[in-house]
């Protein structure tokens, strides 16, 4: 099983669009898609607005998306071609409680793609890509914590001399990493798809060799 994680430094930078784009571009992977949302006091970490993310027991929940309206993020994953789409909702700081159930849910999946930063604390993916937008000042602590682990960066295109609106985050953490520039609403280019496909093939070939030593 290949595991891909897509993160980003803030809400509304295109994480969901990247996940959906990769699912659509690589249908041969038969993806199980996972979206992780954290909430606190009725406020969603994804939108910073009042929401219905809170679970009945006010701790965590995992639900499987069935609808294909494309109105929700998890529905967009199904529309893009995912075989399954799961929504993990947890209180801020409670993701650890949901992880045993999530691991069980994806145990038999052919390949898994997750939209999250915080899951990096619990999983070691074959590929972690982060979406950055110099024009968005907010920078999530989880995105900062795992920025140096990114295999590549998906960067919103802008002026060559543009500087990040955020502060306190060193770009040295991504120095030397592949950077793919995108222009919304197109978040996934042929170059990004080739990079993901080649990286997964290389990882799987190495894993196969190690297994048969």
Report pLDDT digits (tens) over 164-191: 999 999 989 999 999 999 999 999 999 9
Label residues 164-189 b or e (16+ Cβ within 10 Å = b). Answer: eebeeeeeeebeeeeebebeeeebbb
Q: What is the pTM of this model?
A: 0.91
Beta carbons within 10 angstroms of residue 44's beta carbon:
18
Number of separate domains in the chain: 1
CATH of the domain at 142: 3.40.50.300
Question: Which domain range does residue 166 map to?
Answer: 2-211
Over the stretch 97-153, which tens digit does the pLDDT of each residue have?
999 999 999 999 999 999 999 999 999 999 999 999 999 999 999 999 999 999 999
């Amino acid at each position: 099983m290949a595991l891909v994680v897509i993160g980003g430094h803030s809400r509304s930078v295109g994480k969901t669009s990247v996940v959906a784009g990769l699912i659509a571009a690589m249908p041969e992977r038969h993806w199980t898609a996972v979206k992780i949302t954290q909430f606190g006091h009725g406020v969603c970490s994804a939108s910073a607005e009042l929401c219905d993310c809170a679970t009945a027991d006010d701790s965590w929940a995992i639900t499987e998306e069935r609808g294909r309206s494309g109105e929700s993020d998890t529905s967009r994953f199904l529309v893009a071609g995912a075989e399954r789409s799961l929504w993990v909702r947890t209180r801020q700081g409670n993701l650890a409680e949901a992880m045993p159930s999530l691991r069980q849910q994806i145990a038999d999946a052919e390949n898994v793609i997750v939209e999250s930063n915080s899951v990096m604390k619990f999983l070691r993916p074959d590929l972690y890509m982060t979406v950055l937008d110099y024009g968005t000042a907010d920078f999530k602590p989880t995105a900062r914590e795992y920025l140096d682990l990114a295999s590549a960066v998906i960067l919103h295109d802008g002026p060559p001399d543009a500087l990040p609106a955020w502060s306190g985050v060193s770009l040295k953490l991504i120095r030397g990493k592949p950077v793919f520039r995108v222009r919304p609403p197109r978040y996934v280019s042929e170059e990004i798809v080739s990079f993901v496909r080649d990286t997964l093939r290389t990882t799987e070939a190495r894993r196969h060799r190690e297994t048969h030593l």
